[in-house]
Amino acid sequence: MSDEFNPYKPGSGLKDDFDGVIVDGTFTTDPQTGGTSIILMVQCDDGDEWPARYGCGTGWESYDGGDTVRHPGGERQLFNANTAYSDFMQHAWDAGAKDDMLKRIKEVGGPTVGANWNHMKFHWEVLERPIRRPEEQEDGSRVWVNTTMNRTLPTKYLGLTTASPSPAAAVSSGVTLSDDPLRVLDAVTAGKVRVAAKDSATYEQFIDQMLGLTTVDGAPIMEFMEIGAAVADSNWYTTLHKGE
């Protein structure tokens, strides 16, 4: 009886038991909760394209349109073990992708880069995972309880399908330094960016200044895709800082 199909049993709504290669990764932040997630587009062998979404937790933010994320805790900050993204990474590691994952730290940038997972192929299955979530009480208070949820996770690594993506492809979003990202700004604002680069002793200080700059019309300059992508590349800061 247990092996028979039961139409009354609730489903997870998740794709299960398939082979698929990751073709794109991007980070997105929920404006209401402040929580950031990574969305991995998986091209399945059956022709479907499955968007696998894993929460990264709070504190992580993208300044380049979702290509990468940063944390105020610094470059050595790790993703919380209780997050879905950490769960995905651990399953990918245990599924046999460990060696390629370690190589990509130098080749692409590691898990803070969405393109880090491009071209990696896995067998995927829906697994029941333990989680903790808040639960409303009758008196209006909230307590954390242990429960479970279903996630589509990698269970077997099937290798790389093509050559690994280059670091430039991971962060540039089609913008190169020769394109001069400042072309999208008015002359006054472009001048402010050059001054900010000159005055910033470090790349981190430059990022902080860029986050506060606006155009003459009051629009945050980081909303321009070309600027966000350029700021994500420390070489652009170095070029501007040296006045090259």
Query: DSSP letter string over 164-196?
Result: PPPHHHHHHTT--GGG-GGGGS-HHHHHHHHHH
Nearest to 63 by CA among 241, 238, 224: 224
Domain identity same for 118 and 136: yes
Per-residue confidence (pLDDT) for residue 1, from 0 to 100:
42
* pLDDT classification of 119: cutoffs 50, 70, 90: very high
171, pLDDT greater than 70: no
If one counts the domains in the chain, the total is 2
12, pLDDT greater than 60: no
State mean pLDDT over 95-121. 93
Domain identity same for 119 and 202: no
State mean pLDDT over 53-64. 89
Of the residues 114, 139, 170, the one at which a domain ends: 170
Mind giving me the DSSP string for 90-122?
Answer: HHHIIIIIHHHHHHHHHHT-STTBGGGGTTEEE
Domain identity same for 135 and 220: no
Q: Comparing 80 with 11, which gets the higher pLDDT?
A: 80
Token pair of 2 as six digits: 């247990």
175, pLDDT greater than 50: no
Per-residue confidence (pLDDT) for residue 2, from 0 to 100:
47
Token pair of 56 as six digits: 């990264």
Per-residue confidence (pLDDT) for residue 166, from 0 to 100:
37
Per-residue confidence (pLDDT) for residue 5, from 0 to 100:
57
225 part of a folded domain: yes
Q: Comparing 88 with 47, which gets the higher pLDDT?
A: 88
Residue 135 structural domain: 18-170
8 part of a folded domain: no
Q: Which amino acid is at 175?
A: V
* pLDDT classification of 88: cutoffs 50, 70, 90: very high
Domain identity same for 26 and 72: yes
Per-residue confidence (pLDDT) for residue 85, from 0 to 100:
95
State mean pLDDT over 49-72. 89
The rounded mean pLDDT for the chain is 81
Per-residue confidence (pLDDT) for residue 137, from 0 to 100:
79
Token pair of 226 as six digits: 């070309």
Domain identity same for 83 and 65: yes
4 part of a folded domain: no
Q: Comparing 208 with 43, which gets the higher pLDDT?
A: 43
Q: Which amino acid is at 47?
A: G
* pLDDT classification of 73: cutoffs 50, 70, 90: confident
149 part of a folded domain: yes
Per-residue confidence (pLDDT) for residue 179, from 0 to 100:
65
* pLDDT classification of 150: cutoffs 50, 70, 90: confident
* pLDDT classification of 21: cutoffs 50, 70, 90: very high
* pLDDT classification of 6: cutoffs 50, 70, 90: low
* Residue found under tokens 């073990």: 81
